Structure 1
């Protein structure tokens, strides 16, 4: 019976490590979501209305690039992100076409 206790201890430790890893992964997700801030794309407002594409707009598009597909799926932002003007702005900034 002494051999059963070490394997039970190892099993409990393995489960505890898995639970800790899952908690850490879930805790990291809100931080990723927090970095997606559509308001930070405000420097692109003029370009979306037919104005010039500025360096500030391009810098913010690059910073928010991982979030663009998330915005494209959001009904509140999709018309801005998916429209032809938005595509021309991203192209003017040298960003690749979104593949969502």
Structure 2
């Protein structure tokens, strides 16, 4: 139990550092990685996403192609994990080129 809590804290901390950087070509006012920290538990474990997480996924949907292309973020969240959480939230992600 302590190990999983520690792991989650480490992942969320690492995400915070990565999320502080901007993705080129996106409006920082609309695309903010920090909004998705509410999804850390659902991304790092099989637990279902929270209502807050799903709300943030819906808000950030236009930003996902940029997020998925960001090599810094990919080391923490795979496209498969992102798609799984989005699907559980009832959000269809756009096809990224």
Q: Structure 2 length as normaliser, TM-score? A: 0.63
Q: What is the CA RMSD across the aligned residues, in angstroms? A: 2.0
Equivalent pairs, count: 70
Higher relative contact order (CA 8 A, sep 6+): 2
CA contact (8 A) 1:36 1:64 kept: yes
Question: Gapped runs of 5+ residues in structure 1?
Answer: 1-29
Give the structure 1 partner of residue 85 of structure 2: 89
Structure 1 residues 71 and 81: alpha-carbon distance in aligned structure 2, compared to 1, 3 A threshold: farther
Task: Using the TM superposition, give the Cα deviation of residue 62 of structure 1 relative to its aligned residue in structure 2, in angstroms.
Answer: 0.5
Question: Gapped runs of 5+ residues in structure 2?
Answer: 1-24
Task: Using the TM superposition, give the Cα deviation of residue 93 of structure 1 relative to its aligned residue in structure 2, in angstroms.
Answer: 0.6
Q: Which has the larger radius of gyration?
A: 1
Three-state SS of the structure 1 residue aligned to 2:28 is helix
Task: Using the TM superposition, give the Cα deviation of residue 98 of structure 1 relative to its aligned residue in structure 2, in angstroms.
Answer: 3.1
Matched, 1:38 2:33: yes
Q: Structure 1 length as normaliser, TM-score? A: 0.61
Runs in 1 of length 4+ with deviation above 6 angstroms? none
